[in-house]
Structure 1
Amino acid sequence: MNQSTISLLDGHAAGLRSAVATAPAAPITAGVQGPGGYGKSALLAELADAYRAAGVPVLGTADLDRADEGAVLVDDAHRLDESVLGRLVELARAPEARLVVTYRPGPRPDALGELIGELGAPVLLSALSQEELAMQVRDASAEWIRWLHAQTGGVPRYVSRVLATAEPDVTQLPERALDQFQHDFDQLGDAGRACVTAMAVGATPHPDLLASLLDLDTAEIGAALLAVRASGLVAADDVLLPIVRAAVLRLTPWERRLQVTRRLVETQLSRGGPVLPLVAPLLGAEIARLPEATLAKAFEQAGEEALLDAPELAPRLFDAAVSAGAPPASVAARRARAAAVAGQLDEALRLADQVVVDSAVPDRELGVQVAASVLAQRGLLERSAEMCRWSVGRLRWPGDRAFAAVGLIGVGRLADADALLDSSDDAGPPTSMTGAAAQLASGVRESVTGSASNALSTLVRAASLSEPVGRGVVLPDSPASLAALVALHCGELDVAASTLERAVATGTGGPLLRNRHRLLSAWLPLVRGDTVAARAKLPTGALTARDRLLATALEAGIASRDNDMAALAAARGQARQVIAEHSVDLFALLPLGELVVMAARLRDLDWIDPYLTEALALLEGLGNPPLWTSMLTWKRLQASIVLDELGTAQQRAAELGAMAHHNPLAAAMADAARVWLGILGGQVDQDEVEKTARALHAAGLAWDGARLAGQAAIRTADRRAMLGLLECARALQGKPPRPRAVGGGDGGVLSEREKEVAELVLAGLTYKQVGKRLFISAKTVEHHISRIKQRLGATTRQDLLDRLRELLGSDR
């Protein structure tokens, strides 16, 4: 190697350009390595221009006899014969040589390897980064730059092809740009072209697989793959760049693609490998409609795979299987399941009903499972339970007896559930799914008849047991969601959070139950009073009737805690619709309680009274189980407080007192109910209120604890107690203490008139509107607000509004 060569700085093209531009007469030997399309020829052209500008002749391989007269620039040295390469080796050893050679990473003859050794560490050309692309295309959006980079991998040649033919910000590869790949593919030879065709339809670039698929020997495939890599057609992981794949599919006749696809599918089917990536691109193509036994089988298997990875494709894949020749009855039940997983519940129920009554369908039990699951999603738990119950002894599926019992308990039919659970069970081997379902039924029954802690631990175990098998199974409900409901009803928020987090992470229950888990997760910040976090967890898109009930109650709870009366009124409109669609069941009592409070705040209970009456009858039929009854009773107490119905509040408090023994949350709610009665009667014991509020917070009802302290603050006649309770409310909400004002007025709390003014201001009325409502002047309203601000030690208008919300609570 020539030891007198100029340093190429960091080994990048910039260093080579700089070396030539600054000292064109100096000796230099350099190798430039890069795959096809990375700009080797363009770099040599720049160097040639620099040399010519300095008066240095630019020579090529035909001018090696007079190499000492100028600079020798050689492109694509990998294409040269050995004799020429040998002469370049001699030139590279000459002390005064000026030689720059470009070549691809491989394959390379021995003589080229010797030349590279003399040239030293090469200048490595790399693809363009997104930042470099942005410098070249200054007028394009950042999104389009990201798309361009993803499609081309930043390969300069492919970038240029798109830029020369694409419309600005249109994320579709131009056909003219794809057609320009014909020359690149022709340079690969027959074996290389066959390899990229196979890779484009989904084959992995493994020599043995490609050799078997293409009827070539492994050595041919190895050489072809080296040529493919050297041509710059693949990324670092040997996967075709998107623009290359699109070009292959466009420029290869469909008959050839179908032939390779069929062979590849046959190989994958024989090995038990996935076929979804192979046949999904065929959906909608004419060839997918042709009778073809191999494709029919592949579409069937791909439909099964899509249930986990691409549920929206599953129905179309099963339809394609039928079009390709699969008997309709053979895929009918799986087609129903696919429709359910894809969220097409009406279609799923229609197909499942057809499956259940058709004795020609080989897997009718799957149709029953789908029908039962869809009915539960639509808020029709009793019909779901009856479907499961009917299948017991007829069309058995893992967990049918247990889910029937859970549904029957959920609609208040405990005796029927017990009779079913006590009967013999011949559902098959004790798999994880049957075990999880059995524990689920046991835990739900325990929640009604026994201890909250035993019920919760049983349900959590059921949720854990169902995780490995839950993603592809269609279920009426998941152990995780029922465990979370029980945890929420007994104040075990940490248990609910961890159970739901695992369910979301593992995909338990598949897409059909994903939103249910997320909605229950949103309930956790709601009960803590964190409405921002609760709103952020609300899922978007279409929801089933059961999920809409939860979502609407969450919206109502958020609006109530934010004291947003307009949003609360909007939630009422949604609630009236969803209540009409959803039948009463045990597992819908949590959202029902929130909607009862909403209706009370809006002074509009008539529409929800029938549903509430039915829920109370359900609980009565179950013996008023404390775990499920206490939370609804607590919400009914809050509604009574909102409506200033002291007699009704006393009745609810007595009911809570009777259930206080069952679990710590029930005990905290019973104590709080007693304190509420004292507050409503004008008796505020600061120490007792703070103790009770903190107990509610500790038991899981953080926001309710803060509200109790805030309401006590507004009703006490002791200013010092009022401020102390106000700070207690702030602390329970996780807010820092406020600086206290000095000289705060006459020492009294808000008068009744000041409360009226404050409530209307919080509702968003202007001073003029408040005055009209109360038959006073706007100036008087302003005077009242000034006094309120002074009494509460508020320093700004926002500060005043925050304090008023804490004082007046969510019942205003």
Structure 2
Amino acid sequence: MTHTAIRHQPLLDPRTRRLLDSVGSAPHTPPRLGVVAPGGHGKTTVLRALADACRQADVGVLDPRWGLPDATDDVVLLVDDAHQLGDAQLRELRQRVERGRQGVVVACRPWPRPAALAELLEALDLATPLLTLGPLSHDQTAELLGRALDATPSPATVDHVHAQTGGVPRFVRWMAEALADQRRRGDRETTAEPPAGAVARFRHDLDLLDPDVRRLLLAMEAGVGLRMDLLGALLGRAADEVGEVMAAARATGLLAADGTLLPLSRSAVRSLLPAEQRVGVRQRLAELQLARGESVLPLARSLLGSGVGGESVAAAFEAAAGEALPAEPALSAELFAAAAAAGRPVSALAAGWALAAALAGDLDPALRLADQVIGARDSPDRANAACVAAAALAHRGQLGRSAELYRWARTGPSAAFAAVGLIGTGQLAAAEPLLAGNPSDEPPTLLAGAASLTAHGVHESVTGCWTAALSTLVRASSLLEPAGRAVPLPDSPAALAALVAVHCGELDVADSVLARALASGMGGALMATRHRLLQAWILMVRGRTALAAEHLAQIRKDVGSLEPRDGLFAVALDVGLARRGSDLPALRETWAHAREAVLRHPVDLFTFLPLGELAVAAARLGDQDRVVPHLREATALARRLGDPPLWVTPLHWAGLHAALVADQQDVAEEHAAALAANGHHNRFCAVLAHAAECWLAVSSGTIDPTRTAAAARGLRDAGLCWDGARLAGQAAIRTSDRKAMVGLLECARLLQGRPGGSRAGASTGGSAPHRSGAGRVPGGQLSEREREVASLVLSGLTYKQVADRLFISAKTVEHHMARIRHRLGCANRGELLTQLRHLLQRADSPS
């Protein structure tokens, strides 16, 4: 490899420079000096500079490493690497120093320090204090880099090189030359990793290392640090002997001042020393730390994929898997797999492995492993495995089977979780005996307390006061936040609290409890997806459809394949967003996935929200038969629970809209009557009951503008902004009263978050006459309403979809587009769209 040579004057500290100057100014005074520094710190550079100074002063120099010449007073002896000389040579040099007639300059590393070398350095120190060389400063590093690059280096490059090398002159030079080579080849410079060319130049130094020093450096690269007891066990040496090995390692120059590996040295040790040596040292360290009961996770992680095996390594992998479980369940599952590959029986690992896989969201292996443990009659982990399988089955939509497993487990919080599952499947009488709490011999842990509160909160939601139910579930979620990360949950108290909050219109509470659950990692990756989907659901309910769609897309990107329960909520979100955007093609496209999702997930109490959304979509597409059996099942389940108003009210609200869309007035009236019967339960039920009456009136053409606007604002106040805007908009386009239409349209626009104004309202009526100058802006620009219509048409919506979005008629949209085309003088639709695109882009661009 070709390297750019740096041939400028050496970078010397002030004291060394004065010594050189003294040689030139007093050539007849023989220099006697000892130069001590670790490898790479410039000892040879100093000797070369002294040799040049002597020659310029007509003083001869000799390198006596291959034998000392006869004593000649007019020749200076320059001895490099004196630590490699034998005792006889060192004693001879000391004698010449003591005679004082001949110049002797000795350079050596601080280790090894045999007695003869120590005596020589002591004699030199009496003549001239020893010269110890240190690392380059930041400014000196920048100067050396500038010489190599023939340009001023960037501050980031200087910082990177100085941090990587610790300022060791040789390493700085290697980095500088490697960077110069990169620049000459046109390679992109990066501060992420040191250049490969600089790392490769360590090979010779590493090959010369003593075996113990090599093992020490490998241990440091593995992250052991200065654990002298652990290093002693690794090297088979006593603590004081480890100090000698450490001193030898420091003398190489590979260590920083604090005894740690320099970053550049670490890269060299990692990439240049044989892989089998690295693995061997790490394996031995893991065995030692495991025997001492210390953390083995960092070392075990580094051994993944190395192929090492054996009982001790398998035990280390298993212990590391347990360490990783709370924070990194996916890594924990990988470590369990490594333990099995290293020779540990799968039966001994299955319970922990199943738990790790479940928390990581990988339910297939979790269920397979848990089932193996449950079937092993002599296994002490059967109950724990049953809890893992029960949690996984709940996510798969098998809430009834999940409850059976929890009842069988009879451990910890299993009774409470079983009660939640039984209530969710309509088995209230079977659930109530399980609400007494944990068995007397079970400790009252945070998990047990949270599970008990969750069960009582769900029970309260179907039998009692909604405020008590919501409060209990929120407290359960708060209780579990510190300890819920490594727990496989069938459903989290946060998710159930959010569902109850959505069912009673407390969307702010739902948002808050979900955000806290996500921040605490409650339930691990298994529950994170559910929490995020419920957040997206709340955004959709509030009418923030674009943001809800972004959240949903990000969830799918992050997670990939969704479990049946999450898949049901996700596809219901797709359907709901398409319906709210009046996007019939998207609704049809999504409906095929929705049908499959409904088939994969049995009806339970906690799926009423997506089921209601799918019922409205089915009516919109004329495919009600697909969901009728599921709606009947939901009705039967609710009846078994006593038709709890909190849970059935949103289902009746969805049923009302599905009936109105399908033009089933009698069915709509039944749902409206059910909503009215539950209107006393809470404010949210009362709002929906009032709105339902208004919808029936709107559908029949009997519209009271004041009452309808009040109902629409009530929906908005309950968090249902889109529903409120749609009620007002549909009433507006169905009334024949011009004044009422304008007022209701204004209300709809405000509820939807669009700016109001009489001018916008004045141009919305389908039958209103057009005056040639009305709403025009000089210069051929568009009015506010025209811009709104044009923007939606350009986005690809049909006139009908634009009309639904703006609460106007399709005829009005057609009227707007015809007027725009006339004003812009366009000959055809293609020309019109081109001009509109240009006009809107110019208007939106910054001035």
Using the size of structure 1 for normalisation, the TM-score is 0.73
Q: CA separation in 2, counterparts of 1:602 and 1:104?
A: 85
1:570 aligns to 2:559 (yes or no): no
Q: CA separation in 2, counterparts of 1:545 and 1:266?
A: 43
Please name the residue that 1:613 is paired with.
632
Alpha-carbon deviations, 1:455-499, whole Å to 9, x = none?
A: 011111111111222111112111111111111111111211121
Q: SS where residue 736 of structure 1 aligns?
A: coil
Q: SS where residue 469 of structure 1 aligns?
A: coil
After superposition, the Cα gap between the structure-2 partners of 1:568 and 1:156, relative to the gap in structure 1 and judged at 3 Å, is farther
**Amino acid in the other structure paired with 2:317:** F
Alpha-carbon deviations, 1:93-122, whole Å to 9, x = none?
A: xxxxxxxxx999999999899868999987
1:542 aligns to 2:556 (yes or no): no
Please name the residue that 2:525 is paired with.
511
Q: CA separation in 2, counterparts of 1:503 and 1:282?
A: 34
Any conservation in 1 of the 2:729–2:745 contact (CA below 8 Å)? yes
Q: CA separation in 1, counterparts of 2:144 and 2:719?
A: 54
Aligned-residue Cα RMSD (Å) equals 5.3
1:378 aligns to 2:392 (yes or no): no
Alpha-carbon deviations, 1:783-809, whole Å to 9, x = none?
A: 58547999xxxxx999x99xxxxxxxx
Q: CA separation in 1, counterparts of 2:389 and 2:213?
A: 51
Identity percentage of aligned residues: 47
Q: Where in structure 2 are the equivalents of 1:208-287 lying within 5 Å?
A: 209-215=230-236, 231=253, 238=260, 241=263, 244-245=266-267, 247-248=269-270, 251-252=273-274, 254=276, 256-287=277-308
Deviation, 1:430, is: 1.0
Alpha-carbon deviations, 1:713-755, whole Å to 9, x = none?
A: 222223333333333223223333357159759895799xxxx
Match of 2:684 among 649, 665, 675: 665
Any conservation in 1 of the 2:165–2:264 contact (CA below 8 Å)? yes
Please name the residue that 1:64 is paired with.
53
After superposition, the Cα gap between the structure-2 partners of 1:202 and 1:767, relative to the gap in structure 1 and judged at 3 Å, is closer
Any conservation in 1 of the 2:144–2:173 contact (CA below 8 Å)? yes
**Amino acid in the other structure paired with 2:522:** T
**Amino acid in the other structure paired with 1:711:** Q
Q: CA separation in 2, counterparts of 1:221 and 1:738?
A: 84
Q: Where in structure 2 are the equivalents of 1:627-776 lying within 5 Å?
A: 627-737=646-756, 740=759, 744=763, 748=767
CA radius of gyration, larger in = 2
1:123 aligns to 2:139 (yes or no): yes
Q: CA separation in 2, counterparts of 1:638 and 1:741?
A: 29
Deviation, 1:244, is: 3.5
Q: SS where residue 584 of structure 1 aligns?
A: coil
Alpha-carbon deviations, 1:284-333, whole Å to 9, x = none?
A: 33323x3x2x2222111112233334433333422332344434332121
Deviation larger for 261-270 or 567-576: 261-270
Q: SS where residue 281 of structure 2 aligns?
A: helix
After superposition, the Cα gap between the structure-2 partners of 1:215 and 1:18, relative to the gap in structure 1 and judged at 3 Å, is closer
Any conservation in 1 of the 2:749–2:755 contact (CA below 8 Å)? yes
Please name the residue that 2:425 is paired with.
411
After superposition, the Cα gap between the structure-2 partners of 1:335 and 1:430, relative to the gap in structure 1 and judged at 3 Å, is same
After superposition, the Cα gap between the structure-2 partners of 1:216 and 1:617, relative to the gap in structure 1 and judged at 3 Å, is same
After superposition, the Cα gap between the structure-2 partners of 1:117 and 1:641, relative to the gap in structure 1 and judged at 3 Å, is same
Q: Unaligned stretches of 5+ in structure 1?
A: 1-12, 20-26, 49-57, 70-76, 82-101, 139-146, 752-756, 771-777, 791-795, 802-812
After superposition, the Cα gap between the structure-2 partners of 1:149 and 1:711, relative to the gap in structure 1 and judged at 3 Å, is farther
After superposition, the Cα gap between the structure-2 partners of 1:279 and 1:699, relative to the gap in structure 1 and judged at 3 Å, is same
Using the size of structure 2 for normalisation, the TM-score is 0.71
Deviation, 1:80, is: 9.1
After superposition, the Cα gap between the structure-2 partners of 1:643 and 1:194, relative to the gap in structure 1 and judged at 3 Å, is same
Q: Where in structure 2 are the equivalents of 1:576-591 lying within 5 Å?
A: 576-591=595-610
Number of residue pairs the alignment of both structures matches: 705
Alpha-carbon deviations, 1:113-151, whole Å to 9, x = none?
A: 98689999873427999xx99x9999xxxxxxxx99999
Q: CA separation in 2, counterparts of 1:726 and 1:472?
A: 52
Alpha-carbon deviations, 1:411-467, whole Å to 9, x = none?
A: 000011113335983461111111111111100000110111100111111111112
After superposition, the Cα gap between the structure-2 partners of 1:728 and 1:784, relative to the gap in structure 1 and judged at 3 Å, is closer
Q: SS where residue 361 of structure 2 aligns?
A: coil
Q: CA separation in 1, counterparts of 2:594 and 2:718?
A: 28
Deviation, 1:593, is: 1.5
After superposition, the Cα gap between the structure-2 partners of 1:783 and 1:537, relative to the gap in structure 1 and judged at 3 Å, is closer
Q: CA separation in 1, counterparts of 2:583 and 2:161?
A: 45
After superposition, the Cα gap between the structure-2 partners of 1:315 and 1:438, relative to the gap in structure 1 and judged at 3 Å, is same
Deviation larger for 186-195 or 114-123: 114-123
Any conservation in 1 of the 2:217–2:269 contact (CA below 8 Å)? no
Q: CA separation in 2, counterparts of 1:722 and 1:499?
A: 40
Q: CA separation in 1, counterparts of 2:144 and 2:499?
A: 53
Deviation, 1:233, is: 7.0
Deviation, 1:390, is: 1.9
Any conservation in 2 of the 1:718–1:749 contact (CA below 8 Å)? no
Q: CA separation in 2, counterparts of 1:319 and 1:119?
A: 46
Match of 2:352 among 314, 331, 334: 334
After superposition, the Cα gap between the structure-2 partners of 1:236 and 1:535, relative to the gap in structure 1 and judged at 3 Å, is farther
Q: Where in structure 2 are the equivalents of 1:75-474 lying within 5 Å?
A: 123-125=139-141, 157=174, 180-186=201-207, 192-207=213-228, 209-215=230-236, 231=253, 238=260, 241=263, 244-245=266-267, 247-248=269-270, 251-252=273-274, 254=276, 256-288=277-309, 290=310, 292=311, 294-392=312-410, 397-422=411-436, 425-426=439-440, 428-474=442-488
**Amino acid in the other structure paired with 1:305:** E
Any conservation in 1 of the 2:413–2:438 contact (CA below 8 Å)? no
Q: Unaligned stretches of 5+ in structure 2?
A: 1-5, 13-19, 23-36, 59-78, 84-106, 114-120, 155-159, 771-788, 803-809, 823-831, 838-847
